[in-house]
Chains A and B, each alone.
Chain A
Amino acid sequence: MTLWKHEMKMNIKSLLIWSCCIGIVNFGCLLLFENLADTMEQMAKSYSQMGSFSTVLGLDRLSIATMEGFYATELGLIFAIGGAMFAAMTGASMLAKEEEGHTSEFLHTLPFGRRYIIRWKYLAMASAIILFQIIAILWETLGFAIAGEMPEVQEYLLFHGAQFFMQLEVGSVCLLVSAGSRKKQIGTALGLAVLLYVADMMCRIVPDIEKLKYATPYYFSNAADIFTSGKVDCGMLGISVVITVAAFMCAFGVYMRKDLTA
């Protein structure tokens, strides 16, 4: 627990900045919705007939003129990309920051051992992702309350549950990158978060690469899909869990065998 507490203290600033940024953006958009409701009504029909664009954003299934549709098609996307970027950055820096910041000689000569270190750092990353969710949800809930309209609670919670697994998968893959690096690969991590979103978009538009949906966790955690169907694809969630566990195990293996620089 010592190391977990230490990591949470080290990451608290980044966590608060990211979660409040995403939360406040969504909060602000929710407050704007009421004022834009009439305009949205007029635009909703046009948005639903924009072919691939409508398919990708779910505008062919949900109306942007409703609170639920607006949240699922617009704000859910902000949350997904922002959350994935936060998870990616946290994962990518978790292990490599010790060697980059020359603190590995201090940390690894305390009687923790590498097993303990990687285990508790991973748990700290997962805890940060959970806290990110909670803080952003609090801002969103406040926005819904002031706007006077809530989406369906079950779908809302299902979406955020799926988002947690998506962010954990992205964070775990970036932790694997971190395990093998001596420097924080922030660029790689952010690029990965964006690339996975692009893969989700592409596989929805191009039938030939539909199978790409199994490679990107954005697919099963898509807000429009969840709010439309009322459920999460358990098969794809299972694949996400397998990838998450595999990434962690590989990170563990790499880190245990690695020579650590001072």
Chain B
Amino acid sequence: MMMESKNNIRECRGNEADIAIEIRDVTKTYGKHRGISHLSFVVPKGDIFGFLGPNGAGKSTTIRCMLGMLHFQKGEIRILGMDAKKQTREILRKVGYMPSEAMFYPSMKVKDVIRLAVEARKMNCDSEARRICDLLDVDREKRISELSLGNRKKVSIVCAMQHQPELLILDEPTSGLDPLMQEVFFKLVLEQNARGTTCFLSSHVLSEVKRYCKNVAIIKEGELVKLDSVENLLRSGIRQVKVWQGGQERQFTYSGNARELIRELDTMQVDDVLIEEPSLEELFIHYYQEEA
């Protein structure tokens, strides 16, 4: 038996100057197909914000709406105080984006891709670009077509961070990176965050979210199902319950009153019971699953 309670969607409001991303009642559909529906949340400046959801939940749709690649039908998105529909170019000057699939022009060399990203911003980022390339061991003379996924991801990191953006949007940033490079990558993220950069991290790797993110939003089927700090989420009152009954083991997630749980267990006449705090993975699966 599993008891679930639907979490209320909480909006965090504050001064516009303190907000990096404000998504207000945004709906995006693809014809008859659902994209995202009445999505609302706020990311404070200086935060490292996790954005989680199962495949097809609408994470990439949300990110692409933020960056002007997709047109949403309803709602408002403000990035660093600017309207995402009307001020796309100004927003992109201040944002560093790392897509999940790092694709570049195959015939170009790495240094030319990096230079194109710099020239687009009319900035001189040579020293910072070289520093990041050295840290990530990027061969600037190679052609993009000669690079593996992991090495293309590294180029993507350089392009996203070299101009020291105010907002970093990272879509599954560590997929394809070896563990050493993952460490280096997060060192760079923390460095940027220490300078005041807000980091918006969409990831399936929950250990990263748990380790680095302060706040997290969970999206499912285009809707926000949970918005809270990682700390509160882990102390959410949700419990993993294992019961043994007639030699059979059963497991379920319970969120509710402890007295109700004890009463339920009593009626079940269990032989043994184990009640634990769930890991972030188990919490995640709990929010992902269909309600009973």
A positions within 8 Å CB-CB of B: 2-3, 6, 10, 101-106, 108-114, 116, 257, 259-260, 262
Contacts and interface: CB of A to CB of B under 8 A. Distances in A.
Contacts of B117: 110
Interface stretch (B48-56, B74-82, B103-111, B270-278): B103-111
B69 A260 contact: yes
12 contacts: A10-B105, A101-B103, A103-B104, A105-B69, A108-B68, A111-B89, A113-B88, A113-B89, A116-B89, A260-B70, A262-B101, A262-B103
**A101, A114, A259 — which one has the most chain B CB atoms within 10 A of its CB?**
A259
Given A103-B103, A105-B103, A260-B69, A111 B92 contact: yes
Nearest to B70: A259
A interface, by DSSP: helix, strand, loop or mixed? loop
Nearest to B30: A259
A260 B68 CA distance: 9
Contact of B99 (A111, A116, A259, A262): A262
Nearest to B163: A111
Contacts of A106: 99, 103-104, 113, 159
B194 interface: no
B128 interface: no
A16 to B, nearest CB: 14
For the complex of A and B, 9 pairs with smallest distance between CB atoms:
A102-B103, A113-B89, A110-B120, A111-B92, A111-B93, A109-B97, A2-B119, A260-B69, A105-B99
Contacts of B89: 111-113, 116
B67 A109 contact: yes
A56 B277 CA distance: 85
Contacts of B119: 2
* Chain B interface residue number, banded: 20 to 34
Contact of A111 (B69, B106, B107, B121): B121
B105 A259 contact: no
A3 B93 CA distance: 16
Interface in B112-127: 113, 116-117, 119-121
A10 B99 CA distance: 23
A102 B67 CA distance: 16
Contact of A110 (B90, B92, B103): B92
B10 interface: no
B95 interface: yes
Interface string B184-200: 00000000000000000
A102 B64 CA distance: 14
B210 interface: no
A6 B67 CA distance: 22
B71 interface: yes
A5 to B, nearest CB: 8
A262 B64 contact: yes
A114 B60 CA distance: 20
Given A10-B105, A102-B103, A257 B92 contact: no
A102 B101 contact: yes
A105 B160 CA distance: 12
A108 B69 contact: yes
Nearest to A2: B119
Nearest to B95: A109
Contacts of A112: 89, 92, 120
B120 to A, nearest CB: 4
Given A108-B69, A109-B92, A111-B121, A103 B97 contact: no
